[in-house]
Each structure stands twice: as C-alpha cells, then as structure tokens.
Amino acid sequence: MRDFSEDHRWLSINTATVRCQWELDRIISECAERGIRAISPWRDQVAEVGLDKVARRLRETGLELSGYCRGGMFPAPTPEGRKLALQDNRRAVDEAKTLNAACLVLVVGGLPGALQGKAEHKDIAGARNEIRDGIASTLEYARQIEVPLAIEPLHPMYAAERACVNTMEHALDLCDLLDPERSGALGVAVDVYHVWWDPKLEAQIKRAGDARLLAFHVCDWLVPTRDLLNDRGMMGDGVIEIPRIRGWMEAAGFAGYSEVEIFSSENWWKRQGAEVLDTCIERHRSAV
C-alpha cells in the first residue's frame, strides 16, 4: 500500500468541495500552487469558465483530471426525455475527452421527477432498466472516443432522487453485462461515503479488479449525520475506515488518485477556500 503520509502526490480535489468559495479558474490556480496534481470538476463549473479556457488552464498548470462530474440521470417518463438524456450524456463524454479526464462519472438517476420533488412513478425496476439501456447507449459512443465510464453506486438514501444503483455488486453486475470483456471502457467509482456500510465491499472491490476500479473518492460519515445531502465530513472526522478501504483498492490493483469530495454547506462551504484545501492536504496524509 502506498505511503501517503509524506506528500500529497495522490491527492485529487473534487471541485464541488470549494464550489461556494471560488470559480473553477481560481480553483485550478489554488490547487496548482499547492502542488495538487489532479482535480475532478463538475460540468456547470466548467461551463461557467468555458470549456476551451479550462482545457488551456489545465495544460498550462499540468493538472490532471481524476474524473469528470458527471453523466447519468438516464430515467425519464417519456421516450423524448430519455433521448434528451442520451444527448446530454454524449455532450458530457465529449467534454470529458476535451479535458482528457480519466473517466466520466455516472450518477445514473432514480425515479423520474423525484429530484425535482415529485416522482412520476414508483417503478424502480423500470428505472433500472432505463439506466441499463442508457449506459449501454452512452458506452457505445464513449468507447469510440476512448472515454472510460465510471458507474458510481450512491448511498441507498439517494435511491429515489439521484441513483438507484446503490451497491458495488449492482454496479459490477451492470459492468459485466455491458462490458463482459473487461475492456477498461466501463467500471466503477468507489466513494467511501456511499459504500462504507456494505458488508460485501471488500469482496466486490476484489471482484472489480484493476480493470473496473476507475476512481476512488474520499470524505467521511459523520456521527450524527444531520442532513441527507449536505453533511459529509472531512476525512478523519467520521467513522469510515478509509485506510482499510484504500488497502482493499490497492490490493485489487488500483494505483490512482484519492479524490476528496465533500458537500457540506453547513460546514466546509462556509470556510475560507485556502483553509479547506490545506485541510484536505493534511487529512490526505493523516487519515487516508
């Protein structure tokens, strides 16, 4: 297992972590100044600055993209809606290619309308079929231009609104179905916040292996957790055995970045951006 205690070569910052403090342009500068070698930006943050400008800034600074957030959200109540989702995913693949991202992260979607506050139906099995078909279609294009897709299983508390793929096992079943040859074109993003509770986690990470382990996201599960969405903790402040899970990842062949992704309007979003990044660096060394 790699020693993270001496430097932060393998730290990546998911740019949602400081989205309330800085625009992406500034985030790139602040990360580069601190010797952070990778980020994972969100599409709206890229759009705000401009895709070409972001690509240029990445080249200038030498920053890599450990991932690009995000594609997915495939289910829709109408064929028209599903077609629009596919078109949008195709654009996300193109952007990921332009930015040379290691993968496009897929938050696959839940019950149509639920994220907007009212589910159009309750047919979760049907939504899962639409997700399977949506990934299959997006994968066909992403393969051509060589952008790996990373299915991110989300915590089951997000099954209705955000993603009804909620376990590594389910995500890997989809991978096996759609990419049986384990080509590297389709895999998973392992976010400890979403999967730490799963008694099958170690076995499923092993099952995934190097070919399917496309990203590793870290933060912590706070006790108590006060909000379903905006109460992620900084690594070391919660109850997740992050080093143990990273050990499982590395034993399975993963040798990429540890990407810090914290949403926390109640806490970290209110602090100075510099303090947040410096804490990420320190905790990456001491708690990841």
Which CB atom, from 170 or from 285, has the smaller least distance to a second copy? 170
Residues 110-149 as x/- pattern, contact with a second copy by CB under 8 A: -x--x--xxx--xxx---x---------------------
| Binding region for a second copy (CB under 8 A) out of 2-10, 20-28, 87-95, 151-159 | 151-159
Please report whether residue 268 would count as binding a second copy according to CB under 8 A.
no
User: Does the protein bind a second copy through residue 170 (CB under 8 A)?
Assistant: yes
Contact 153, 163 (CB under 8 A): yes
Q: Are 251 and 206 in contact (CB under 8 A)?
A: yes
- Looking at residues 206 to 225 of the shown chain, list those that interact with a second copy (rule: CB under 8 A): 221, 223-225
* Residues contacting residue 125 through CB under 8 Å, at least 6 positions apart: none
Contact indicator for 87, 171 with CB cutoff of 8 Å: no
Alpha carbon of 215 to those of 77, 130, 222, 274, 285: distances in Å? 31, 24, 22, 25, 18
- CA–CA gap between residue 261 and residue 152 (Å, rounded): 13
Q: To which residue do tokens 């389910």 refer?
A: 170
Least distance to a second copy from the beta carbon of 248, Å?
A: 12
Smallest separation (angstroms) from a second copy to the CB of 6? 24
Cβ proximity to a second copy: between 74 and 221 the closer is 221
Which member of 96, 104, 164, 249 binds a second copy (CB under 8 A)?
164
Using CB under 8 A, pick the residue from 167, 204, 258, 264 that binds a second copy. Answer: 167
Calculate the CA dihedral of residues 277, 280, 282, 287 and round it to 10 degrees. 180
Beta-carbon count within 10 A of 241 CB:
11
From residue 1, how far is each of 4, 108, 245, 269 by CA, in Å? 9, 31, 11, 32
- The dihedral sign for the CA sequence 109, 113, 117, 123: negative
Under the binding rule (CB under 8 A), the answer on residue 199 touching a second copy is: yes
Q: What does the alpha-carbon distance between residue 214 and residue 148 come to, in Å, rounded to a whole number?
A: 8
Residue 16 or 164: which CB sits closer to a second copy? 164
**Among residue numbers 222 through 241, which ones bind a second copy (CB under 8 A)?**
223-226, 228, 239-241
Using rule CB under 8 A, residue 34 touches a second copy: no
Q: Nearer Cβ to a second copy, position 43 or 128?
A: 128
Residue 282's φ and ψ, nearest 5 degrees, are -65, -45
Based on CB atoms, which residue is closest to a second copy, 67 or 153? 153
Shortest spacing between CB 2 and a second copy, in angstroms: 21
Contact status, residue 25 vs residue 63, Cβ threshold 8 Å: no
Out of 159, 184, 209, 210, which residue is the one contacting a second copy (CB under 8 A)?
Answer: 159
Contact pattern for a second copy over residues 57 through 96, marking x by CB under 8 A:
----------------------------------------
Cα-based distances in Å from 98 to 27, 243, 279: 19, 33, 30
Q: In the complex, which residues of this chain contact a second copy (CB under 8 A)?
A: 111, 114, 117-119, 122-124, 128, 155-157, 159-161, 164, 166-167, 170, 196-199, 221, 223-226, 228, 239-241
